[in-house]
Amino acid sequence: MTNIPYLEDIESQQERVRRALISSMPFWLTVTRIMQLLLAFTVLVLTGYTVSIFGGDFFHTFGISFLAFVWTIVFMLYIFITPERAPKLYYYRVHIILEIITTAFWIATVSLIAWECQTWDAAEDVVYDSLTPAEASLVNSLPNQWSGVTALRVALAMATINTLLFATTMFISKLHLEAYPRS
């Protein structure tokens, strides 16, 4: 029976450390997290627009951006809500692992969108180099084709920025989380 107060003291100490850890995160890091979420939504909308223009051929870019967006939401919920609402479920190692997985999803998203952009650049070269002007105009008669390609290129730029932000915040969070005593 004497161990119970001791365990309660350890649990309350662990909870204080977790709360102090999260509340000590820099404000700019919170603003960066909100920017990451907004960029993720923008990439999702832009790839969705590309799918609406070109049909099902671009489902994989929308699919990976949807997966990255959903995972980003799950990650943000874990790092913002868990320390305050369920502090016993928050662990800094899980935070870092989720951060690594999120960064990996965004690297995959950038890679796939870059591949799609490269495919369109190559197709554009083929259209103008090997077809007659009449054939090229038939190929380019798809409505809103260039706005879809432009949306894909903008999605690539935004996904790249988001990937760099996630890589940076992953490094900074790791340094910040390791600076606190482990409980």
DSSP 8-state secondary structure symbol assigned to residue 87: G
pTM confidence score: 0.76
pLDDT of residue 118: 84
pLDDT of residue 183: 47
pLDDT of residue 11: 58
pLDDT of residue 60: 82
Which token pair is 78?
């874990």
Domain boundaries along the sequence of the chain: 20-178
DSSP 8-state secondary structure symbol assigned to residue 181: P
Measured CA to CA, the distance from residue 71 to residue 102 in angstroms comes to 7
Q: For the chain, what's the residue count? A: 183
Q: CA 146 from chain center: how many Å?
A: 26
Measured CA to CA, the distance from residue 11 to residue 31 in angstroms comes to 31
Beta strands in the chain (DSSP E): none
Half-sphere exposure of 178 (CA within 13 A, CB side): 7
Which token pair is 19?
């709360």
pLDDT of residue 106: 96
What are the CA-CA distances from residue 27 to residues 23, 49, 91, 145 (Å)? 9, 33, 20, 42
pLDDT of residue 123: 64
Which token pair is 75?
């990650």
pLDDT of residue 55: 76
pLDDT of residue 1: 47
pLDDT of residue 74: 95
Measured CA to CA, the distance from residue 47 to residue 113 in angstroms comes to 9
What are the CA-CA distances from residue 67 to residues 27, 41, 57, 140 (Å)? 27, 11, 17, 31
Q: Tens-digit pLDDT profile for the chain (183 aa)?
A: 445 555 556 556 666 655 555 556 678 888 999 999 999 999 999 999 988 887 776 678 889 999 999 999 999 999 888 887 887 888 888 888 999 999 999 999 999 999 988 877 666 665 666 767 776 676 666 666 778 889 999 999 999 999 999 999 988 887 877 766 554
pLDDT of residue 119: 78
